[in-house]
C-alpha cells in the first residue's frame, strides 16, 4: 500500500508530464497549419508538372536527354524520408518498416546493388544501427525546409544517376491524407519512363508538340526541374505528416495522463479516508479504555 505522500508525488509527476505533452501538442498544431498550407499549395503544381512531363517524355525520342534514356536496371536507390525528431507516434517506424520490406523485395528481384539515401536523423540512425551502408544522408531539414534544400538533394541524385551510381531511384515517404492518417507512399523518381509503358504510350499519343525555343532546350530545363519539384513536394508532405502524427501522439499522451491523474486522485482520496478512519478508531478505542 503506497503512502499518501507517494501518491501525491506521483500525481505531481504525471501533471508535469501532461503539461509538457500538452504544450508539444499545441506547438505541433501550429507547425502543422503552416506545413499543411505550404503542402496544399504545392500539390497542384507538382501534380501538373509530373503529368505534363510523363506525357511529353512518352511522346518523344528517349535519346534526347540522358535522364530519359533507357538502360539496364542493375542497381537501385531507395530514398527514405523521415523526421529528425521523435515523439511522433508510429510516423518513423511505419516508414522504416516499409523500407526494410522494400529492400528485401528488391533483393529478390535480382538487383546487383541497393543503395540507401536518407533524409532525417531517424532513418540515418536506424540504418546505422543495422550496419546498413548509407550513401548519403541529409539531416536538419525539418522545421526550416526551403526549396534550395530540395535543389541540393536533386542535384546529388541527378549527378549520381548520370554517373551510373544507380539506375533507378525510389522515394519512400509519408503522404499526408488527413490529420489522423498518414500513408506510407513510394514512387519512382527515375527513370522517367519504363520501356513497357513507353511503347504503349507512343502508340496512343498522336499529338506531336511544337517546341519553342527547341525541344532540347525545354527538356534541359524541365527534366531536372521536375526532379526538384517532386523531391520538394515529398519533403513538404512528409513534414506535414510528421507534425500531424506528433499532434495526434501528444493528444493521446495528454489524454492518458488525464486518466492516470484521475485514477491516482481516487487512490489518494481512498487512502486519505482510510487513514482518517483509522485515526478515529484509535481515538474511540482510547476513550473506551479510559472508561
Partner 1 sequence: MEGKIRLEVVTPYGLVFSDDVDEIIAPGSEGEFGVLPNHAPMFTTLKIGMLTYRKGNHTGYLFVNWGHAEVTHDRVLILADSAEKAEDIDVERALAAKKRAEERLKQAEKFDQARATAALERAVTRTKVAEKAK
State the catalytic residues. 88
Cβ-based nearer residue to partner 1, 21 or 193: 193
Cβ-based nearer residue to partner 1, 26 or 52: 52
Provide the binding-site residues for partner 1, judged by CB under 8 A: 40-42, 44-45, 48-49, 52, 56, 147, 207-213, 217-218, 221-222, 229, 232
Residues 6+ apart with CB under 8 A from 167: 71, 72, 73, 74, 75, 76, 161, 191
- Please tell me the distance from the alpha carbon of residue 37 to that of residue 177, in angstroms, as a whole number: 13
- Please tell me the distance from the alpha carbon of residue 62 to that of residue 82, in angstroms, as a whole number: 34
Cβ at position 47, least distance to partner 1 in Å: 9
Cβ at position 212, least distance to partner 1 in Å: 4
- Please tell me the distance from the alpha carbon of residue 254 to that of residue 250, in angstroms, as a whole number: 6
Neighbour-count burial of 192, counting CB atoms closer than 10 A to its CB (0-12 exposed, 13-18 middle, 19+ buried): buried
**Which three three-digit cell numbers place residue 291?**
472508561
Cβ-based nearer residue to partner 1, 42 or 165: 42
Backbone φ, ψ for residue 116 (5° rounding): -125, 135
**Which three three-digit cell numbers place residue 13?**
509527476
78, 103 Cβ separation under 8 angstroms: yes
Cβ at position 198, least distance to partner 1 in Å: 18
Cβ at position 141, least distance to partner 1 in Å: 17
Cβ at position 80, least distance to partner 1 in Å: 24
Cβ at position 81, least distance to partner 1 in Å: 19
- Please tell me the distance from the alpha carbon of residue 195 to that of residue 58, in angstroms, as a whole number: 10
Cβ-based nearer residue to partner 1, 42 or 137: 42
- The residue with cell 492518458 is 256
Cβ-based nearer residue to partner 1, 41 or 265: 41
- Please tell me the distance from the alpha carbon of residue 107 to that of residue 62, in angstroms, as a whole number: 28
Cβ-based nearer residue to partner 1, 77 or 228: 228
CA 175 to chain centre: 7
192, 52 Cβ separation under 8 angstroms: no
Amino acid at each position: 500500500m503506497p503512502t499518501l505522500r507517494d501518491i501525491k508525488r506521483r500525481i505531481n509527476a504525471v501533471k508535469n508530464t501532461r503539461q509538457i505533452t500538452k504544450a508539444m501538442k499545441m506547438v505541433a498544431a501550429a507547425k502543422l497549419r503552416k506545413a499543411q498550407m505550404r503542402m496544399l499549395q504545392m500539390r497542384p503544381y507538382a501534380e501538373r508538372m509530373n503529368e505534363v512531363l510523363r506525357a511529353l517524355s512518352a511522346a518523344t525520342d528517349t535519346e534526347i536527354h540522358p535522364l530519359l534514356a533507357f538502360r539496364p536496371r542493375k542497381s537501385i536507390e531507395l530514398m527514405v524520408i523521415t523526421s529528425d525528431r521523435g515523439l511522433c507516434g508510429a510516423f518513423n517506424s511505419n516508414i522504416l518498416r516499409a523500407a526494410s520490406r522494400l529492400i528485401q523485395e528488391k533483393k529478390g528481384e535480382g538487383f546487383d546493388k541497393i543503395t540507401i539515401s536518407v533524409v532525417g536523423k531517424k532513418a540515418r540512425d536506424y540504418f546505422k544501427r543495422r550496419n546498413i551502408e548509407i550513401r548519403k544522408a541529409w539531416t536538419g531539414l525539418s522545421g526550416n525546409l526551403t526549396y534550395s534544400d530540395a535543389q541540393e538533394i536533386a542535384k546529388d541524385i541527378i549527378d549520381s544517376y548520370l554517373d551510373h551510381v544507380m539506375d533507378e531511384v525510389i522515394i519512400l515517404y509519408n503522404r499526408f491524407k488527413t490529420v489522423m492518417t498518414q500513408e506510407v507512399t513510394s514512387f519512382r523518381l527515375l527513370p522517367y519512363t519504363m520501356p513497357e509503358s513507353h511503347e504503349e504510350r507512343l502508340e496512343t499519343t498522336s499529338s506531336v508538340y511544337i517546341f519553342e525555343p527547341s525541344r532540347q532546350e525545354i527538356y534541359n530545363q524541365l527534366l531536372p526541374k521536375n526532379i526538384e519539384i517532386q523531391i520538394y513536394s515529398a519533403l513538404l508532405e512528409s513534414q506535414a505528416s510528421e507534425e500531424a502524427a506528433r499532434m495526434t501522439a501528444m493528444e493521446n499522451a495528454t489524454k492518458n495522463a488525464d486518466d492516470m491523474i484521475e485514477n491516482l486522485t481516487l487512490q489518494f482520496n481512498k487512502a486519505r479516508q482510510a487513514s482518517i478512519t483509522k485515526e478515529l478508531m484509535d481515538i474511540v478505542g482510547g476513550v473506551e479504555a479510559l472508561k
